[in-house]
Amino acid sequence: MILTGAVAPGAPLRPAALQQELGVSPTVVREALTRLTREHIVVADAHRGFQVRPLLPDDLLDLTRVRVEVESIAIRWSVEAGDLEWESEIVSALHRYVGTVRQSGRDTDRADVLGSAHERLHEAFVAACGSPHLLEIRARLFGAAELYRRWTRYRTTVERDVVAEHEALAQACLARDADRAAALMTEHVERTMHLVLEHLSIAEDSQEKS
């Protein structure tokens, strides 16, 4: 509901209302909200309670700047150390991602399936980096960016060939071209940032005019 925009960024999340709407126990709601807080999708405040994480340009700029550095290191190390099993996982994950994109389009009912395929592919790119600490940091940053990426995906009218972007990344990895892989990853992450910033600006203008 949050990632597809059914619940807007910044909106309050009241456990009692969610319990009734979703037909689950209070414990389940609390556990879900706690987990989403750890994943940076929900924020918790002692006075306001839970709310969907707001989309803030300054936060996204900072997040992207750090992600670019971390993703670049991770994919470089992975390209340098990857073996045949690593290559095979990239090919498999890419095949699943491409097929899922073509089946899903902008269907919000398949958002979780597409999100899972996308996450698996990005994990495959960096899986051979050899550093559990780096992978943990990268995964946390990826999760923090997911709300921005998904929320914008179902609203922007900008045409973007996400399949071609990921195919190029996969080809660079399989060709063991660390410089190109890092450059493409930077372009990929920053392109998402620019689309989100553009959409946030349009939304802000619309609110001011209304």
CA 11 to chain centre: 20
47 φ, ψ (degrees, to nearest 5):
-100, -40
Q: What pLDDT digit, counting tens, does each position of 131-154 carry?
A: 999 999 999 999 889 888 877 776
Contact 52, 9 (CB under 8 A): yes
1.10.10.10, 1.10.510.10, 2.60.40.1930, 1.10.760.10: CATH of 12-52: 1.10.10.10
What are the extents of the domains in the chain? 12-52, 57-209
Question: CA 198, CA 69: separation in Å to the nearest integer?
Answer: 23
Neighbours of 86 (CB within 10 A): 20
Q: What is the pTM of this model?
A: 0.83
Q: What is the CATH number of domain 57-209?
A: 1.20.120.530
Q: What pLDDT digit, counting tens, does each position of 24-38 carry?
A: 999 999 999 999 998
